[in-house]
Amino acid sequence: MKKMRTFVALTMVLLLVFLAGCSGGSPSSSGSAAPPAAGSSASTPAAEGSQSETQAPAATENPMQSLFDEVAALSGQDAINFFNSLADRGLSDSEIMQFFIDLPVSQANEDIYKLYVEDGFEIYADTYPTGTTHENYTLTGQGADFIGQFSGWPMKLPYSDYVPLSEGPIGDPNKEYKITFVAAGMKSAWSTSMHDSIMYEASRHSNVTVDVQDYEYDNNKLSNIMDNVIAQKVDGIVLWPANEAPSGPPVQRAEEAGIPVVTIDRVAGYSDYTNRCAGNFTANGAQNAMYLLQQLADEGSYNCNVVLIRKPLGTTADAIRIGFFLKPLSYVPGIRIVASYFDTSDKPTAFSNSQAAIQAHPVIDAVMTDGDYEGIAMLDALKLANRLDSREGGKRVIILNVDDSKEAVKYVESGDIATNAPYTPLMADIGLRVLLKRLSGGELPQDIIFPNIPIVTQDGRKLFGMSTQTPEEWYGFTFGPEV
């Protein structure tokens, strides 16, 4: 099985190289490969959805390279001791987080190292946009309050002062700017909140209209919608791409037609885009790994069975979060990834996957879940099976979570879920501001990196010297209905 997995990964990489040579790296088909069956524990293909044609920035010396050189030879408790020394070495909270994000994978835990390499996580890591925020922006703790147009929920935008744009007409005040927001879905609280955020920004500019088109996670429908929007000769497109590879050709067609495309959240499989707004999937994975390592160190044992409950195969959100989760764990032998399940972006499948994992594995110590609904689904399944406190000595299963819904953060407050690494859907306002600035003649870097947000823990504990935040501190920026 491992040889076959490696063969498939290498074959996919070679295929990407071939496609890049033939057509600039853009896949020729607008469709996507069929996803694995629900609950499949298939490996992540090395190139499915990877952004092969995205130009990586020129290599520069990482200021933390000396630390990486020092920790490279360490493993187990020695590595943990080194991680615990970071604050004493003068690193700030943000620098400690960045250390774990940039930390190279280690061969100390052979199984995790093989999983990371053979499943192609390094390919995603090498092509995902990283760097500093625009004009070195940091979270201010301030944000615009509004009522969501779609949801009717009261919200607070965490990034409303990032890439700022003055209220009022943009560009030519006598021109109406027609923008289309092409979204992957509109049914979940997360996606609804994203739509609310873009419409908030549109409401601030009297000569801007935004039409929302939902392709319902169907990449063939995405291609058709993009072609229709191109034919309408809109002024610009904000795209939420579900999968990288299938989104590449439609983005290419739009850009070649002279229509600027700004992607948000995930990235598209085409390199010559106008702008992309992305960046802290890396922090989601790395911080959850930090929590697990710190918790195991506090317990005094690194003997740990981990289950991965994941988003759909080939999505940026999954590949980056899981890859950056695995890297810190690779320094500690004894931690085992015992199963990996992909869903189809819905809670019922995540719940079925969770039940399958519980039935297949009598000992589960920790679960890394890609999104809020996966974490809640696993919690529900553990409670139903009377397994929530089933670790050795009656300890609670450690549920590591991402995507900061009000429901998920409340479960952190109660101690049912251990963590929530915020990845807010209240980001589409940034994508629209970036596009409007470009349409107004403004200059911006191609990649707009989201600020990293500290992970939420029940007690705001420190992880290797880095401060986290409590549910109360972040709750005002969460999304979804009150619970």
Q: Are residues 398 and 299 in the same domain?
A: yes
Contact 261, 236 (CB under 8 A): yes
What predicted TM-score, i.e. pTM, was given to this entire model? Answer: 0.87
Residue 156 DSSP label: E
In-domain check, residue 110: yes
Q: Tokens for 305?
A: 């069975």
In-domain check, residue 84: yes
Contact 249, 223 (CB under 8 A): yes
In-domain check, residue 206: yes
- Residue 85: domain span: 2-55+63-129+281-420
Q: Are residues 274 and 287 in the same domain?
A: no
Contact 208, 177 (CB under 8 A): yes
pLDDT at 25: 31
In-domain check, residue 186: yes
pLDDT at 14: 37
From residue 132, give the alpha-carbon distance in Å to each of 56, 135, 229, 447, 450.
15, 8, 33, 10, 9
In-domain check, residue 246: yes
pLDDT at 127: 86
In-domain check, residue 39: yes
Q: How far apart are CA 46 and CA 468, in angstroms?
A: 33
Domain final position from 397, 420, 443: 420
CATH number at residue 316: 3.40.50.2300
Q: At residue 397, what is the residue type?
A: V
Q: Are residues 254 and 145 in the same domain?
A: yes
Q: How far apart are CA 346 and CA 341, in angstroms?
A: 13
Q: Are residues 306 and 206 in the same domain?
A: no
Q: Are residues 149 and 252 in the same domain?
A: yes
Contact 410, 439 (CB under 8 A): no
Q: Are residues 148 and 198 in the same domain?
A: yes
In-domain check, residue 468: no
In-domain check, residue 483: no
Q: Are residues 364 and 414 in the same domain?
A: yes
Q: At residue 337, what is the residue type?
A: I
Q: Are residues 294 and 408 in the same domain?
A: yes
Q: Are residues 50 and 122 in the same domain?
A: yes
Q: Are residues 153 and 247 in the same domain?
A: yes
Give the Cβ contact number of residue 182 at 10 Å: 24
Q: Are residues 191 and 301 in the same domain?
A: no
Write the CB contacts of 358 (distance below 8 Å, at least 6 apart in sequence): 364, 381, 382, 385, 387
pLDDT at 60: 59
Domain final position from 405, 420, 435: 420
pLDDT at 339: 97
Number of domains observed in the structure of the chain: 2
Q: Are residues 289 and 171 in the same domain?
A: no
Question: Hey, which residues does 208 pair with through a beta bridge?
Answer: 177
> pLDDT tens track of the chain, all 483 residues?
444 344 434 433 333 333 333 333 322 223 332 333 333 343 433 333 333 333 444 455 788 999 999 999 999 999 999 999 999 999 999 999 999 999 999 999 999 999 999 999 999 898 888 889 999 999 988 899 999 999 999 999 999 999 999 999 999 999 999 999 999 988 899 999 999 999 999 999 999 999 999 999 999 999 999 999 999 999 999 999 988 899 999 999 999 999 999 999 998 999 899 999 987 999 999 999 999 999 999 999 999 999 999 999 888 899 999 999 999 999 999 999 999 999 998 999 999 999 999 999 999 999 999 999 999 999 999 999 999 999 999 999 999 999 999 999 999 999 999 999 999 999 999 999 999 999 999 999 999 999 999 999 999 999 999 999 999 999 999 999 998
Residue 402 DSSP label: B
